[in-house]
């Protein structure tokens, strides 16, 4: 259960790309709390400087401002590193439809650069962020690895490409790669601002400000919302997984299913507000329903998520109340 008892050899060094972002900064914090050294590589294009400042006083933390699209930067960042947690990418399905060339360069070439840098430096384990978006239009629930549909967005395509490159690096170069298909991650330090903000922090902020939120579609779409603590557990357990699990991809979720309108009213109740939403058009490229089969991650990684949606949303609301 959890990751607090996960142990690595003394002197282990982790590189977290995208370490100034939402997931990356939480990974940096967890690794530092376990007593290991972290290098954070981030170009601060979507990551936040405040997520770097948090850790600068810790002697085990090093920040490198750099871009994964530059191979030399990646190679230097990987020197002496034992474990790479590659979170650097641009998210957002709608934004990827507007900026396909950038997404290709950043999310595919950037990740490929990191795999090559890890290979050249003899990194033990390369764990990378994939996404539930790779399931595309497959209507079957729960979503199961190996049963994917047609991709619905450039963002989903970038993640599928990353998975295929990772398989090649495991097969031909002996790099132990582990792909984590995140399902709608939420929690502390997730950015509530901007047109491409994720739904939960955006709703919380709007409700706290007395604004009327807009729900895309009819609100009957469902998601397997996954609290950040579960994602930290998955990353760290992938780092201690055996080589027999290398080259594989894993659903990382709680295994629940929440309908968006239920989430909406859960938030209004928790925040003590009575606001009815506006409804807007469906977002292009969005999956209608998403719910994960996490049995493969349980069996091969020892993943055993402790944080249900109900427990996670309570913690997230508390964090936003204190920090917004």
For 70, other C-beta atoms within 10 Å of its C-beta total 14
CB-based contacts of 104, cutoff 8 Å, min separation 6: 154, 158
Asked, for residue 321, whether it belongs to a domain, the answer is no
Asked, for residue 313, whether it belongs to a domain, the answer is no
CATH number of the domain where residue 169 is located = 3.40.50.720
Name the pairing type of β-strands 278-280 and 226-227: unpaired
pTM of the model: 0.96
Residue 71 belongs to domain spanning: 13-185+228-255+287-307
Asked, for residue 212, whether it belongs to a domain, the answer is no
Check: CB of residue 253 under 8 Å from CB of residue 234.
no
Asked, for residue 170, whether it belongs to a domain, the answer is yes
CB-based contacts of 32, cutoff 8 Å, min separation 6: 38, 55, 58, 60, 61
Asked, for residue 273, whether it belongs to a domain, the answer is no
Asked, for residue 280, whether it belongs to a domain, the answer is no
Per-residue pLDDT of the chain (324 residues; tens, 9 = 90+): 689 999 999 999 999 999 999 999 999 999 999 999 999 999 999 999 999 999 999 999 999 999 999 999 999 999 999 999 999 999 888 899 999 999 999 999 999 999 999 999 999 999 999 999 999 999 999 999 999 999 999 999 999 999 999 999 999 999 999 999 999 999 999 988 876 678 899 999 999 999 998 999 999 999 999 999 999 999 999 999 999 999 999 999 999 999 999 999 999 998 999 999 999 998 877 778 889 999 999 999 999 999 999 999 999 999 999 998
Task: Tell me whether residue 155 is one of the annotated catalytic residues.
Answer: yes
Asked, for residue 4, whether it belongs to a domain, the answer is no
Radius of gyration of the chain (CA): 19
In whole angstroms, give the CA distance from residue 322 to residue 266.
19
Asked, for residue 195, whether it belongs to a domain, the answer is no
Q: Domains in the chain: how many in total?
A: 1
Catalytic residue among 36, 83, 103, 155: 155
């Amino acid at each position: 259960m959890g990751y607090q008892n996960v142990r690595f050899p003394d002197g282990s060094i982790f590189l977290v790309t995208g370490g100034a972002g939402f997931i990356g900064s939480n990974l940096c914090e967890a690794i530092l709390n376990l007593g290991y050294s972290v290098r954070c590589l981030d170009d601060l294009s979507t990551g936040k400087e405040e997520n770097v400042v948090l850790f600068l006083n810790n002697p085990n933390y090093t920040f490198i401002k750099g871009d994964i699209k530059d191979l030399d930067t990646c190679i230097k960042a990987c020197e002496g590193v034992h474990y790479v947690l590659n979170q650097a990418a641009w998210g957002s399905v709608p934004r990827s439809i507007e900026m396909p060339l950038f997404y290709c360069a950043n999310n595919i070439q950037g990740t490929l650069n990191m795999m090559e840098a890890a290979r050249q430096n003899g990194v033990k384990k390369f764990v990378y962020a994939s996404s539930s978006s790779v399931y595309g239009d497959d209507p079957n629930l729960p979503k199961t690895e190996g049963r994917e549909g047609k991709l619905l967005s450039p963002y989903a395509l970038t993640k599928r490409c990353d998975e295929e490159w990772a398989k090649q690096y495991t097969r031909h170069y002996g790099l132990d790669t582990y792909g984590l298909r995140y399902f709608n991650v939420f929690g502390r330090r997730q950015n509530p601002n901007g047109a491409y903000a994720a739904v939960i922090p955006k709703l919380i902020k709007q409700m706290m400000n007395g604004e009327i939120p807009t729900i895309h579609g009819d609100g009957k779409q469902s998601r397997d919302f996954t609290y950040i603590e579960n994602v930290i557990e998955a990353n760290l357990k992938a780092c201690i997984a055996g080589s027999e699990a290398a080259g594989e991809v894993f659903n990382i979720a709680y295994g629940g299913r929440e309908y968006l309108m239920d989430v909406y009213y859960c938030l209004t109740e928790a925040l003590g507000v009575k606001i009815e939403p506006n409804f807007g058009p469906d977002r292009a490229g969005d999956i209608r329903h998403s719910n994960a089969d996490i049995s493969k991650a349980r069996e091969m990684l020892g993943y055993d998520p402790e944080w249900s949606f109900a427990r996670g949303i309570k913690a997230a609301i508390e964090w936003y109340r204190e920090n917004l």
